Amino acid sequence: MKVDYHLHSTRSDGTISPAQLLTLASERGLAQLAITDHDTMAAYADLMDLEVSAQGLGPRLITGCEFSSLWNGRNIHIVGLNMDLANPELLGALKHQKALRARRAQGILEVLVRRGYRILMEDVERLAAGGMVGRPHFARVLVNTGQVRTVAQAFKKLLGTGRDGDIKVEWPDAAVVTQWIRAAGGVAVVAHPLKYGMTLTKLRQLLEDFKAMGGDGMEVISGAQDPAKTRTLTELCLRYRLLASTGSDFHSPGQPWANLGMQPSLPEVCTPVWEAWMPKPG
């Protein structure tokens, strides 16, 4: 199947709305998609009146969320797929994550003001349009007000890893996040495993621990991926007997490395994650 299980909308740090994502996915012939905004599932409320999948008029919408978590002190993202939106434990988890992100946003604002930048939280929130505020929103406000030239410059100078605006958050442990997803009937997947800057030894330990804590899968394909990386991830997926997921990590049009639905196909030797919710033949 042509699917994309890692997409971002204006409800977090994407630049197009959930409805526009669904339209684009339909135009590209996707059978299924999951909107996996950071620590929020608000996109699904937006689409309640627009859902056409049940009528067979568009791709099937799989519920999703990209949760922030910690493993051995590292920030690791875990994608939850096919979760029950009404599950009380999941609702409590999303409320918890929202509070942590709000606290981080306030910390970023205080750092920027202390550094002499003219920035108001209301301007950042307006740009977020009711979605979860993140570092890209601060960067875009700085660009819009002429205080930096580009979003890339804002991250390099102020907001990127190790910079003053990179406010650390005590995210929940990866085992806790995995439990939230499983409690909601979902499938827990390690997002973009090669983007954490780990050695292969540490990545193996992450996947071994993830499997032990009840994790279900990993992203074998993440965006426009080099075949050598796909081979490495395929070997790891098979070694730890994990389901294989795939996603573009789409945020905005015009980014060929993260183009909605255009990532390579999953290797045939892997068991695709959709088998966790697709009906079995017969």
DSSP one-letter code for 266: P
pLDDT digits (tens, 9 = 90+) for 155-168: 999 999 899 999 99
Do residues 236 and 267 make contact, with C-beta atoms less than 8 angstroms apart? no
For 86, the 3-state DSSP assignment is coil
pLDDT digits (tens, 9 = 90+) for 173-197: 999 999 999 999 999 999 999 999 9
Q: Do domains 3-87+174-276 and 94-159 have the same CATH topology?
A: no
Measuring CA to CA, which residue among 10, 189, 186, 191 is closest to residue 85? 186
User: What is the domain partition of the chain in residue ranges?
Assistant: 3-87+174-276, 94-159
Q: List the CATH code of the domain at 3-87+174-276.
A: 3.20.20.140
The pTM score is 0.93
Q: What's the pLDDT at 50?
A: 60
Name which CATH class applies to 94-159. mainly alpha
User: 60-62 and 32-35 as β-strands: parallel, antiparallel, unpaired?
Assistant: parallel
Q: What's the pLDDT at 51?
A: 52
CA distance 165 to 156: 10
pLDDT digits (tens, 9 = 90+) for 55-83: 455 799 999 999 999 999 999 999 999 99
> Is pLDDT above 70 for 213?
yes
> Is pLDDT above 50 for 53?
no
> Is pLDDT above 90 for 52?
no
Q: What is the mean pLDDT of residues 258-274?
A: 97
